Amino acid sequence: DTAVSQTPKYLVTQMGNDKSIKCEQNLGHDTMYWYKQDSKKFLKIMFSYNNKELIINETVPNRFSPKSPDKAHLNLHINSLELGDSAVYFCASSPGENTIYFGEGSWLTVV
């Protein structure tokens, strides 16, 4: 029943590894996002997709590559993980111009 679901919720991995976070929404929304929340709880948009097309890319390092196989899914792949990538990553979706609905977050710890 979860509207925006993302997996895994917790992920601990070593520096240099490659990892993916998956996101699915069952709300029928056209737009999906990835947001990053840093250790100071500051939230910032990373990417936005509309109907599988990249709309927003907020100067995120190339090591981060979003992929949208269909409009209900937006996965985030991260190559060569660094300590500074440790954060909470939120997937979200929106029907259009206003309200954005967030998933439960994925807590990534790079050691």
Partner 1 sequence: AQSVTQLDSQVPVFEEAPVELRCNYSSSVSVYLFWYVQYPNQGLQLLLKYLSGSTLVKGINGFEAEFNKSQTSFHLRKPSVHISDTAEYFCAVSAYGGATNKLIFGTGTLLAVQP
Q: Which of 20, 79, 99, 109 binds partner 1 (CB under 8 A)?
A: 99
If one asks whether residue 12 binds partner 1 (CB under 8 A), the answer comes out as no
Comparison of 31 and 75: residue with beta carbon closer to partner 1: 31
Is residue 28 involved in binding partner 1 (CB under 8 A)? no
Cβ neighbours of residue 76 under 8 Å, at least 6 residues apart? 20, 21, 23, 34, 46, 47, 64, 65, 66, 89, 91
65 is an interface residue for partner 1 by CB under 8 A: no
On whether the CB atoms of residues 74 and 23 are closer than 8 A, the answer is: yes
When asked if residue 68 is in the footprint of partner 1 (CB under 8 A), the reply is: no
The answer to whether residue 72 forms part of the interface with partner 1 (CB under 8 A) is no
Report the chain's C-alpha Rg in angstroms: 13
DSSP string of 7-58?
E-SEEEE-TT--EEEEEEE-S--SEEEEEEE-TT--EEEEEEEETTEEEEE-
Q: Looking at 31, 68, 75, 93, which residue binds partner 1 (CB under 8 A)? A: 31
Q: How many residues does the chain have?
A: 111
Q: Which of 55, 57, 63, 80 binds partner 1 (CB under 8 A)?
A: 55
Q: Which is nearer to partner 1, 30 or 73 (CB)?
A: 30
**Is 97 near partner 1 (CB under 8 A)?**
yes
* Residue 40 near partner 1 by CB under 8 A: yes
